[in-house]
Structure 1
Amino acid sequence: MQKVRGIRGEVVKFGIVGLSGVVVNFAVFWVCNIGLGIASLRSNIAATVIAIATNYLGYRYWLYRDRDAASRKREITLFLVFSGFGMLIETGVLGFSQYVLGLDSNFEKMGAKVVGLAIATVFRFVSYRTWVFKALPETAPPAVESTSGQELAAQAELMLAAEQIRYAKAE
């Protein structure tokens, strides 16, 4: 039950950060496409790139601040890769609706963005929590009863890994 509450809180925070990204995404899309007359797919890419940048700050420094940050370069690379796949999903849905289905009004473009963004959001949530912002390894408390040499070595490795992560966070 504790795990369900934890993931529910994570989903709510993910939604808050994501919602701010959606506002940025739609605002930039609207300005680029309607205000500046830039083609809808190009506007979508520009809007998504800006939203990705703002979302990273929310995910790293608010939602996943307690996750392993020992390898920031790896984290940012994976974040950009999975965000890029999400952008392809969004842009693909928009392009399909506009160029295949012929849905070209402003209202229809926004509807296609909503559908594409919903699909991409599910993909991003799973990939970010699974591969990008990895949870710190849990350290098991030392067992009171007698343990074998292999179990003792495994516990020592876990404790060492946790210490290395703490030192990495302190730097």
Structure 2
Amino acid sequence: MRSRLERLAREIAKFGAVGAIGFVVNFIVFNICVHGFDLAVVRSGVIATAVAIGTNYIGNRHWTYRDCDRKRRSRELSLFLLFSGAGLVIENGILALSHYGFGFTSPLADNLAKNVVGLGIGTVFRFWSYRTWVFQALPARVAVETAESFLAAESRRTDAPPRVDAQP
């Protein structure tokens, strides 16, 4: 039980670190689109979230979930985009509700709605969906076979007699 909790804590920490980078990307792109290019807030939010989704996929695939099954990469990417799209709707739906529904239109209100409330709820949804559906662990049999073959290769490597190079 303790090892499972420690593994979950490491996974959450890695997911959070990748998410923090995605947050910075999302925040910067959102504010550049709104204030630099004068785009509508929800359009800016969608653009920023899409850029952050790309950043997060790279981080999650190659760091957080690097030990997960890689054989069905197209399925993984399709599900990642599907669940990320649902998170995008959650995140930017809250922004739209705040901005257009409640009339909170200041830059601070838009950033709080999108990057605190929306992103917070979207992140919880994404974490659950990624670990449940997208980045699936290797089946136990395959994981054991992989570990055994690695250990056997290491054993052969360390059992080999030391190599003596001829001196000129």
TM-score by length of 1: 0.81
Question: How far, CA to CA, are the matches of 2:137 and 2:71 in structure 1?
Answer: 11
Aligned to 2:51: 50
Aligned to 1:104: 105
The alpha-carbon deviation at position 162 of structure 1 amounts to 5.7
Matched, 1:64 2:52: no
Unaligned runs of 5+ in 2: 150-168
Aligned to 2:131: 129
SS at match of 2:56: helix
User: AA paired with 1:125?
Assistant: F
* Deviation sequence 1:97-120 (CA, Å, 0-9, x none): 011111000000001011000000
The alpha-carbon deviation at position 138 of structure 1 amounts to 1.3
* Pair 162,99 (structure 1): closer, same or farther in 2 beyond 3 Å: farther
Question: How far, CA to CA, are the matches of 2:140 and 2:81 in structure 1?
Answer: 27
Question: How far, CA to CA, are the matches of 1:64 and 1:51 in structure 2?
Answer: 17
Aligned to 2:122: 120
TM-score by length of 2: 0.83
Aligned to 2:93: 92
Aligned to 2:140: 138
Larger radius of gyration: 2
Identity of aligned residues (%): 50
Question: How far, CA to CA, are the matches of 2:62 and 2:107 in structure 1?
Answer: 35
Contact 1:136 1:162 in 2 (8 A): no
Aligned to 1:83: 84
Question: How far, CA to CA, are the matches of 1:59 and 1:111 in structure 2?
Answer: 25
Q: CA RMSD in A?
A: 1.6
Unaligned runs of 5+ in 1: 140-157, 167-171
Matched, 1:21 2:14: no
Contact 1:137 1:162 in 2 (8 A): no
